[in-house]
Amino acid sequence: MISTAAVIDLADAIVSAAIGSLADLGGPDVEQAFAYDLAHAASAVATARSLLDYGAKGDSEARIACVFTADVLHDLAGKILGRETLWGVTPGALDGAAEFIAEYRNPDVIASLAESSGPLHLTDDMDMVRDTFRAFAQDVIAPHAEHVHRSNGDVPEEIISGLAELGAFGLSVPAEYGGFSEGGHDEYVAMVVATEELSRASLGIGGSLITRPEILTRALVKGGTEDQKHTWLPKLAAAEVMPAVAVTEPDYGSDVANIKVTATPAAGPNGDDGYVINGVKTWCTFGARADALALLARTDPDRSKTHKGLSLFIVPKPRGDGHGFAFTQDAVDIDGSTRVGKMEGRPIDTIGYRGMHSYEIALEDWWVPAENLVGEQDGLGRGFYYQMEGFENGRLQTAARAVGVMQAAYESALDYAQNRRVFDSNVFDYQLTRVKLGRMAAVIQASRQFSYHVATLMAKGEGATEASMVKAYVCKAAEWVTREAMQIHGGMGYAEEYSVSRLFVDARVLSIFEGADETLCLKVIARRLGA
């Protein structure tokens, strides 16, 4: 029978043919549906390929790799059936993998994976990271998770201070600026491992807490001046400053290049150089509790320059109430007129992902000193690139968050199935239940290993495309895994009595933030594949 590597090569050949066909047809802007399917197919195949080394480590690992790969090929076959011309392949392009698919989509083979998502094969150092953050997640985060979710409460301060003591906010801050990063290749993997364990306890008050500091940290390391790095990075590492990201706008969503919030030169209360910011940002997660906003604004009024006219600012703010806030500043003189700066935040109620809260924030003549422009004068018009440096890391982190949510859902479903009796048998004893759990286990391990692989690439300064691919694949997978976990619980899965209902609604946001799935597939993955 054909090997796992060979069937992945076959799938890669189909993806390559499709990339050529898409280019001939006018690209992703013309053939959007095709491009979207292709982006997800390419991401799934890349995930399968990342499992090859893992599959060589033992029998259970090999079975996980084969089961996952067979599902990827089966899904790919469904995408191309009847659309072979569009995909640039001949009918029967996957016939060579038919025996492999039949073997590893056998229900009994899949069911054999039901009770374990497989060993991780981490180094001793990474095992220590995992154990440390798992213990904190179980002891400090988990006891608050359900209450915060059901009451739409705030992140308990003990979680923030505890994570700061563990060094969670300084994982990517270079040691010379008060963090723990020394440039080793394992540091990205450590971030992924820590994020998964925190998210396993709670997405909203665990894993997501370190994402926003990571985004601003990466932007500062990329484009900040030395003074800015020495000022802000130690504060980020110690959680003295907790940031929120203010990029999305009501009218533009993921269309970052066309944002219209402006930053205009204006003297401050003491005559200091600075900018006044005007406009509205939305989906500013953690916007109330945050001590500063990493805010992307238009500094060049020529909108034809799109993303080249954007700059990134660190906008200090007071801490606000989780149910909304309103602040004012000292008056500044703008074009001979005295104006008072205003900042107002309106919470956006959401079905899940509670604790950090998302806000729509309106800024009116809100003044920031010129020294808070990331890169200062050299940073004018470069804010988009600094922000993307952070977002690429944020996408990898989002995949890690998704793995943590999936793992928690799988463990909950497995426990329920083994202890719930229906028709005189445990739910686990039914083949269909074990097949669901086995497939979940394979998807989770594949997602985890792809996250480790991308982390390794990014540590080398590579992997920008793969960071988008892992986010696209894993976050969509998380919706399916948590849905199946809820289904295994039956009616109780729909009740707030069980945590799986929280995991399900939390998972839904993963394909939306850090780049909505459609935008990510069309504007990033499909374009880069064809480049």
> Under a CB-based contact definition with an 8 Å cutoff, are residues 345 and 324 in contact?
yes
CB atoms within 10 A of CB 160: 17
What is the DSSP secondary-structure string of 81-95?
A: TT-HHHHT--TTTTG
* Distance separating alpha carbons of residues 420 and 428, to the nearest angstrom: 8
Q: Are 2 and 97 in contact (CB under 8 A)?
A: yes
Residues 6 or more apart whose Cβ sits within 8 Å of residue 276: 263, 264, 266, 332, 334, 339, 341, 365, 366, 367
Question: Residue 358 belongs to what H/E stretch?
Answer: strand 358-369
Please choose, from the candidates 503, 496, 515, the residue with its C-alpha nearest in 3D space to the C-alpha of residue 199: 503
112 φ, ψ to 5°? -65, -15
Say which residues have a Cβ less than 8 Å from residue 14's Cβ, sequence separation at least 6.
41, 76, 80, 87, 89, 93, 94
Long-range contacts of 14-20 (CB under 8 A, 24+ apart): 14/41, 14/76, 14/80, 14/87, 14/89, 14/93, 14/94, 15/41, 15/42, 15/45, 15/529, 17/87, 17/88, 17/89, 18/87, 18/88, 18/89, 19/529, 19/530, 20/88
Residue whose C-alpha is closest to residue 234's, from 280, 174, 189: 174
DSSP, collapsed to helix, strand or coil, labels residue 174 as strand
3-state SS of 205-260 is CCHHHHHHHHHHHHHHHHHCCHHHHHHHHHHHHCCCCCEEEECCCCCCCCCHHHCC
Two tokens, residue 168: 């969670």
| DSSP helix/strand/coil, 291 | coil
Q: Which of 200, 209, 206 is CA-nearest to residue 404?
A: 200
Instruction: Spot the catalytic one: 103, 187, 514, 518.
Output: 514
CA distance 386 to 245: 13
DSSP assignment letter at 498: S
Instruction: Verify whether residue 514 is a known catalytic residue.
Output: yes
Q: How far apart are CA 74 and CA 78, in angstroms?
A: 6
Residue with tokens 């980020």: 236
What residues pair up with 316 in beta bridges, in sequence order? 292
Q: Which residues are catalytic?
A: 514
